[in-house]
Structure 1
Amino acid sequence: MAATRIEHDLLGDREVPADVLWGIHTLRATENFPITGRPISSNPALVRALAAVKYAAAAANRDLGLLDPERADAILAACREILDGQWHDQFVVDVIQGGAGTSTNMNANEVIANRALVLLGHRPGEYRYLHPNEHVNLGQSTNDVYPTACNIATIMAVGVLSESMHHLQKTFRAKAEEFRTVVKMGRTQLQDAVPMTLGQEFGTFAVMIEEDRARLEEASMLVHEINLGATAIGTGLNAAPGYRDAAVRHLREVTGLPLVSATDLVEATQDVGQFVHLSGVLKRCAVKLSKVCNDLRLLSSGPRAGFGEIDLPAVQAGSSIMPGKVNPVIPEVLNQVAFQVIGQDVTVTMAAEAGQLQLNAFEPIIMESLTSGMTHLGAACRTLADRCVVGITAHAAHLRSDVEHSIGLVTALNPHIGYQAATEIAKEALDTDRGVAELVLERGLLTADRLELLLRPEHLANLQS
């Protein structure tokens, strides 16, 4: 049988595998929350954020003379190893858990304490030399550690998503330049409207993404306000004078983030409004990205019986029964991620609403919803850019023909032939299925040279020089 060690908590004694860095509290949590099968380690940003908070707390307690240098240095070294990517496999509690994040905090306390014990020359579980609660958790509560770590991990996730969206934005911008003079019909309510260029259409996609990136980064600034030093409910009970300022200062240094202490810690400990706001902005990003994918699927529909304006890259066979069929699978996958994000916004909303009195107990599901949503959406953005947008081609001749035969063309010619004549041309074109340009020439309303000039892309699409 594998070697074990005996650990004790308020419920009694339990055997813990001798070689692991987690302890009895973590063991009970793994038994209590077999929910998703995804441990905390599946969110490396949260693990690093927890280590950063514990590092800042130990450094502050050392500065204040509350933690002796030997223990402090060992805790700091253990935290630094976790920040560098080590021991993440020891964070084994499920991402969805009861207890307002207590199990996550205890998992971190135990891993850091046991690694520090090893660095000091002791064995894991020999807590008489260095204790998870008395030393690693000194001056802290789950209720300020976990929210602060969630804020930091969220900021990191926003940064990664923003970079992915920027990559997609640049890809659309490059396509907009490529299609700058490809004339097509614009549509409103799926009906022919007026001419534009495919470049303008793709340029709009780039602008939409750029705007959403800006809103996302604005929303993330609210998450830079933290409640470290609040301890249990915001009163700072059991935190020494000077601890709060010192801990926040060290946390800024170790993370490189412009974190600020909340003005009112009691309010900050129970309020998760920053996550509700961020989730709403994330939903905005998802909705608009999904709309872009809807447009790509519609514009590429066919190949013979649809719009057939563009071709998406063929990346896999589309059917097990219909030979030759290719589906728009890359836009479809982003659509599905967007649906997930929209649903998770409801989860965040309900979790925020369910908070009671001095603490919101549901930050684990808020964190899981936001993090998974941003991670999946970022991956989908890069997939859309690299597996789809970069390889899109246009049916330029088909698009030009659509413009020349569309009734919408009379709107562009209206100032030059007059409203009455334009109306008559439109009616005859509809009745006879003939082209607008053909009828204009036949009636002698414009010369061929003049018509050619008016049908140039820069005129039709009102392009600025």
Structure 2
Amino acid sequence: MTIPGAMTGTATRTEHDLLGDREVPADAYYGVQTLRAQENFHITDVALSHFPRLIEALAQVKRATARANHGLGALDDERAAAIEQACSEIAGGELHEHFVVDMIQGGAGTSTNMNANEVIANRALEILGHAKGEYEHLHPNNHVNLSQSTNDVYPTSLRLAILLTFPALVDSMEHLISTLRTKGAEYSEILKMGRTQMQDAVPMTVGQEFNAWATTIEEDVERLTRTASAFQEINLGATAIGTGITTDPRYAQRATEELSSLTGIDFMVSIDLVEATSDTGAFVTFSGILR
């Protein structure tokens, strides 16, 4: 079976999961769980690597969690530093070709989270002087994913990816508004027939029509900006269902503060992590305004 995105080298390394042993391309930074996901969810042929902002966001979230775990004494100096360096490299654009799982997959993004964990772990192992796959020294789950679940990492990363992409959208919309206003002034004295009920109605100027379009987009920018601020409330630290099980009670606040420091975005811990873990309201509203 040919796996989309697999490395082309013939050499392999053996990795093990609960289903057994598998051969992973030796030059791949992903591991056995990513390989399983490629086989199980070969759906669209659109891989994570097509979305660099999401990969950058995942790396920044993992970097923030490593800092929080280190600061709380859950992660030792050496491993924390290696994970941070790996995350920094990925956030800077490196190793994106190793994010190979399909964007459409079963679960709540577990394969995406594991792809990130494995790439970070294997790069961190190299930094520590070990070979890829030598997880006894630094493990994708036990160290990179420490104090985390897909259910808090993935939605937090999606929120960050949107906020990282949003300024470029606003810039484009404001350029369009400016162009429409220019046309509004240029055609301010040219008459045309306004239409209602799909019929000619009463006169108006072409400039008025252009200005109306500009106003519509201005209102959309305002609505999008207001809605985008909802993405600053995150559930990092909620773990599986929002109870924060397996984490230090201080972890959610600490991880959120670290993410804010890394990104320059003022994130805040949701007041109800159980509710926040299942809430998609901000995504639905933002999507509606975009459409």
TM-score by length of 1: 0.59
After TM superposition, give the deviation of residue 160 of structure 1 in Å.
Answer: 2.7
Aligned to 2:267: 259
Letter in 2 for 1:36: T
Whole-angstrom distance in 1 between the partners of 2:47 and 2:200: 52
Q: Which letter maps to 1:213?
A: V
Q: Decide which of 24, 35, 50 is 1:16's aligned counterpart.
A: 24
Q: Distance in 1 between matches of 2:260 and 2:245?
A: 23
Question: What does 1:241-390 align with in structure 2 at a 5 Å threshold?
Answer: 241-283=249-291
Give the AA of the match of 2:201: A
Equivalent residue number for residue 202 of structure 1:
210
CA deviation profile, 1:91-128 (whole Å, cap 9, x unmatched): 00000000211100000000000001111111110111
Q: State the match for 2:129 in structure 1.
A: 121
Q: 1:74 aligns with which of 82, 103, 117?
A: 82
The equivalent of 1:60 in structure 2 is 68
The whole-number CA distance in structure 1 between the counterparts of 2:51 and 2:106 is 18
CA distance in structure 1 between the aligned counterparts of 2:244 and 2:199, rounded to whole angstroms? 63
Superposed displacement of residue 241, structure 1 = 2.6
Q: Establish whether residue 155 from structure 1 lines up as the match of residue 178 from structure 2.
A: no
Distance 1:266 1:190 in 2: 50
Q: Given the alignment, which residue of 234, 246, 260 partners 1:226?
A: 234
Q: 2:118 aligns with which of 78, 85, 110?
A: 110
Q: Could you tell me which amino acid in structure 2 is paired with residue 113 of structure 1? A: A
1:161 deviates by: 2.2
1:145-172 per-residue CA deviation (whole Å, 9 max, x = no partner) reads: 1111111112233333222222211111
Code of the aligned partner of 1:266: V
Q: Secondary structure at the match of 1:223?
A: helix
Partner SS, residue 130 of structure 1 = coil
Alignment match of 2:13 (pick from 2, 5, 8): 5
Task: State the partner residue of 1:92.
Answer: 100
CA distance, structure 2, for counterparts of residue 82 and residue 169 of structure 1: 35
**Separation in 1 of the partners of 2:66 and 2:282?**
27
- State TM-score, norm by structure 2: 0.94
Paired residue for 2:4? none
Aligned to 1:183: 191
1:278 maps to amino acid: F
Q: In 2, distance between residues paired with 1:92 and 1:229?
A: 26
**Aligned position for 2:59:** 51
Greater C-alpha radius of gyration: 1
What SS does the corresponding residue of 1:154 show, helix, strand or coil?
A: helix
The code of the aligned residue for 1:223 comes to F
Amino acid at match of 2:57: A
Q: Following the alignment from structure 2 to structure 1, what is the Cα–Cα distance between the partners of residues 142 and 30?
A: 16
Name 1:30's counterpart in structure 2: 38
Displacement of 1:19: 0.8
* 3-state SS of 2:101 partner: coil
Aligned to 1:383: none
Superposition deviation, residue 185 in structure 1: 2.5
Match of 2:182 in 1: 174
For the residue of structure 2 that corresponds to 1:195, the secondary structure is strand
1:247 counterpart SS class? helix
Between Structure 1 and Structure 2, which shows a larger proportion of helix residues? 1
Counterparts of 1:399-438 in structure 2, within 5 Å, are none
What do you get for the CA RMSD once the two structures are aligned? 1.2
Sequence identity percentage: 59
1:132-147 aligned at under 5 Å gives the runs 132-147=140-155
Residues 214-264 of structure 1: CA deviation (Å, up to 9, x unaligned): 111111111211100001111101111311111000101112112111000
Structure 1: where are the runs of 5+ without partners? 284-465
Once residues 45 and 166 of structure 1 are traced to their aligned partners in structure 2, the CA distance between those partners, rounded to angstroms, is: 22
Task: Return the alpha-carbon distance in structure 2 between the equivalents of residues 282 and 202 of structure 1.
Answer: 20
Aligned residue identity for 2:127: L
2: CA distance between counterparts of 1:114 and 1:50?
16
* SS of residue in 2 equivalent to 1:263: coil
